[in-house]
Chain A
Amino acid sequence: MKKLRVGLALVALIAPILLICLVLAGSMSGVARGQTVNPNAGSKTGLVQVGFVANLQFPASAPTPNLQNIFLNVVAVRLNPKPKGTSTKLPNENDPKWVTIPIPSGTGAGAAGRPGDLQIDLLAGRTQLQLFNTAKVRTQTYHTVELSLDTTNPGYVVPVCSSVTGTTLEGCAQTPLSLQNPGNQISFIASNPVVVQKNGVTTLPLQLSFQINLLPTVQGQPYVGTITIAPVTPGSYEATISGTVKGAGSGKQAKRVNRLTMSAEQVGTNNVITTANVINSSYQLAVPAPPPGSGAGASYDLYVSGGEVSYEATRVTGLFAGAQATEDFTPAKIGAALGNISGTITDQCAGGPVIGATVQLLIPPDSNSTAICSATPTDCVSVATANTDNAGDYPLPGTVLAPAPFDNVPVNGTAIAPYTMEISAPGYNTILDGNVLATSKKTGGNCTASTSPPACSYTLPTSYLSGTVNLAAAPANGTYTMVQVFAENHGTNTLVSALANPIIIRPGNSTGNFTINVPADQSGAPPTNQQGAANLDLFAQAIDLYAGASDPYPGHTVITAANIAAPTVYCTTITPPSDTLFPSAETMDCVGHGSITGILNNPDINTFVEISKNYNSTGDVQLYSAAPVSLLNPGSGTPNPPIGNGYSFCVPPDSYTLTRYEGATPVELPTPTAVQTITVIPPPPPAPSSTPTPCPSTCKDSIAGCPGVCQNTSAQPF
């Protein structure tokens, strides 16, 4: 009888225990980084990789506005196996068969898209596939594809200034988007259904068309339009890379803690574009790629990580849309012990933690196996990344089944060479330690250059530049002006630092002092420290309000300082002579918005335009860059060209230089191919009226009135 009681009690407890197990299993299933598990997915699942290309259409009856930005708030993409047979009826919104591919965790509000918005840059999507997410869904054939938008807050547009004289619509300011029929389903029934096979990867490129039907006629009115999606022929915007990982198999060497995955990064960076599981020693990835004939094509770093397999990497170049590349990997060690690397990053000068520092493990790629990562890190591939917390400690914790990459690093030995570790933070000299060993005893690794060996803690050196920014006049009462200062390597657009806190200039004051961290140009530095640039360019830009709301582009002029010598000794502060770094005569004036648009002759995917300013002939300081996009309306029903030929800048009225570059490879200073100077038209003064405070437009200072509505300036084609 006692046995029976216990047995029955156990039977009674089975249900809650099973429920608990289901909850835990559902929340903790191991997936590759960047992938999302669909809650409806069972054991028979495959991956679906969704990406967008965009198409914009404007009403033919109105002058076509050029856009500087257009962001669409996407919530999810949903798939449904219905309708089946010959039916053409779209499944109901509440149909239980829908499976959701949400936004990637961490990229939008909420997590895994519940709830959440991911702001998709439609202008970038006009020429290149914008990867949305890769999610695990049940093996099935799906006939309906639906786009879920945030219907209450679908996004915003930033038009450039109007070329129409006398317009009352301001440019370079945020304007809301509105859906004409927000309740309508945005979906299509695929003529070629989406077939998801077990353990397979299905690419699902979608064309997102935004037909703007109503343009605003009064400032503050939204752009009203309709959005449709349509299938894109696979291979039109992406290339496929597949291959094998020799010896990985499907046992614990591929599944231990972190599943074995193949990742693709932007070349020379730690920015993971997409990942896929390695299953039965095979993998397949789809990566964005330009049309054939567009410059040098796309380049990616590929690396194998996870399981009990040593890291292995390669660099793939010259990929064009439709290409099918094969890359096979032979890891040096299968069944490697796993260890960890951890430590603390502190400021060598101030002594406190360096918050948000980036720590990366680098290995040479198979395609350049003799690369010395500690000397030329851009030749190597980043195979693990960590960031520091507010105490300077790294790595940040992962989860039980998806731990931080630095908590599962293959332990070095005869088969696995020491790693190179790169420790970097904006404004600091980068440290490169070429002799980093993961340890199996969870002691935090063994790093010879560490400040507290054997754990891997480092101090980052820095130096400081001090100066003053000057406004033309103090902010009017009831307002304030915020200024951000940036530093970049001289003569390049390689930004290296920005102020930790913008300068706040309040009424009654027209100046603001600043001290900015910059990498020191030191001599005789320890070999682990990467030398900073000898000279720097600085520029200061206001962060203004427009009509009381946040303004994406400044209404004050940008001030520049070229060729400022960086400190040569760590921890020292240099105050350059007042006639070199933002002299008092160089003031930030409240001038309102301005914009430039132009056309590029025969651009390709590697073409870009840089805008620079040269104050008083002290030297060009590069400010912003623009990639070519298809700015102009190609006409109703005509798709946007694969490579656009237009560009635009939202910059305050001033004199600038435009320079065209062809930057096929990530070099600091590509050779300019064309140059022109341009003066951006200032807005005309507004109609006389009693001007309220704060200014209804961009900014107001104590001597100038409020700027009027901005005008566009057209550049010469080049």
Chain B
Amino acid sequence: MPKHLGAAVLNMNARRLIAKIRPMAALAIVLAWLTTLAACNNNYVGFAGFVGNTPPTSPETIFKVLGTVGTPFTLLVSNARSSWQVHGNVPLNVTIINNISVNGLTPARLIATKLSNDNNLLSLQITSGFNVLAASSTSAPYGTVAIQTGTPLVQIAPQASPDLRIFVYGPFGERFQGLIEDSQVGFAVNQRVPALFLFDTPNGKIDGNFTQIQSFGPFAINMTFNGLVVATAQGFPNVIIRQP
């Protein structure tokens, strides 16, 4: 084969090769792009980074029980329609799903009692996106601390009925996004483990779809209905839990 023809064949082979590699490279770039999005902690708005043209939702309001890790507490959470009694240990992130709006605000009051006879810190904080809206703390033995957002509640609402909760316990510190829905409406959530979702006045049965943003280990999730565990789910990076 003449030398110049050989060069042409090589050139053609190279072009074919490039044409075949191009989709793989494109796939690689898309993978890298998606991974970067997931790693950027760009997660203070609903499904940020994952949905093409969907405008970001406003940041969700999260109630946080913080302080000295492991400190036991009992917490009363009330919005304008329902109230919940929560037991747990620091830290815990609490979100009311299907929260009721009053004059454009979502009033809520939290009252916590520390259940340890020491000077550990118990801190209640209300956050919205990157902002800490309110914070209050106690370090007194069995100290009480209260905090509220929105307009002051005239009354503590009656106990939620039904009382449906989803607990995401593990892996500790994991950031995740999710969708929690009843039969009519879905709510995008964005949280960090350990997290508790209180579903206010669900319509029909509830399911939740949770996706890890980082990868610390498998999810450990359970759902309680009026105090009884009715469903558990494990796995990663995506887990679905359904009310039976």
Q: Which residues of A contact B (CB under 8 A)?
A: 1, 4-5, 8-9, 12-13, 15-16, 19-20, 23-24, 26-28, 71, 73, 104-112, 114-119, 121, 124, 150, 152-153, 155-156, 174, 266, 269-271, 352, 355-356, 358, 385, 387, 389-391, 396-400, 402, 404, 425-426, 478-480, 482, 484, 486, 493-496, 498-502, 504, 506, 541, 543, 545, 548-552, 624-625, 694
Contacts and interface: CB of A to CB of B under 8 A. Distances in A.
Contact of A16 (B13, B32, B85, B91): B32
Interface string B107-131: 0010101011111110101010011
Nearest to B110: A550
Given A4-B17, A23-B214, A502-B76, A119 B135 contact: yes
Counting chain B residues whose Cβ lies within 8 A of the other chain, the interface size class is 35 or more
B169 A396 contact: yes
Nearest to A266: B118
Nearest to A480: B155
B136 A396 contact: no
Contacts of B169: 389, 396-397
Contacts, number: 228
A691 B31 CA distance: 65
Interface in B179-217: 192, 194, 214-217
A478 B153 CA distance: 10
A426 B217 CA distance: 31
A496 B141 CA distance: 10
Contacts of B70: 270-271, 358, 385, 387
26 contacts: A8-B17, A27-B214, A106-B69, A106-B90, A109-B64, A109-B66, A110-B127, A110-B192, A111-B175, A116-B132, A119-B137, A121-B139, A152-B132, A269-B118, A356-B89, A387-B72, A396-B170, A396-B194, A399-B173, A494-B117, A498-B113, A499-B74, A502-B111, A504-B156, A543-B146, A550-B146
B143 to A, nearest CB: 9
A115 B146 CA distance: 22
B110 to A, nearest CB: 9
B76 A501 contact: yes
Contacts of B172: 396-399, 402, 404
A387 B67 CA distance: 15
Interface string B196-240: 000000000000000000111110101010010100000000000
B79 interface: no
Interface of B: 13, 17, 20-21, 24-25, 28-29, 31-32, 35-36, 38-39, 41, 64, 66-70, 72-74, 76, 85, 87-91, 109, 111, 113, 115-121, 123, 125, 127, 130-142, 144-148, 152, 154-156, 165, 167, 169-175, 192, 194, 214-218, 220, 222, 224, 227, 229
Contacts of A116: 132
Contacts of A20: 35
A24 B69 CA distance: 25
A16 B28 contact: yes
Contacts of A271: 68, 70, 118, 120
Nearest to B141: A495
Given A20-B35, A495-B141, A117 B220 contact: no
A107 B121 contact: yes
B171 to A, nearest CB: 4
B134 A153 contact: yes
Contacts of B141: 493, 495, 625
A358 B70 CA distance: 8
Given A107-B66, A543-B111, A8 B224 contact: no
Nearest to B22: A12
A397 B27 CA distance: 35
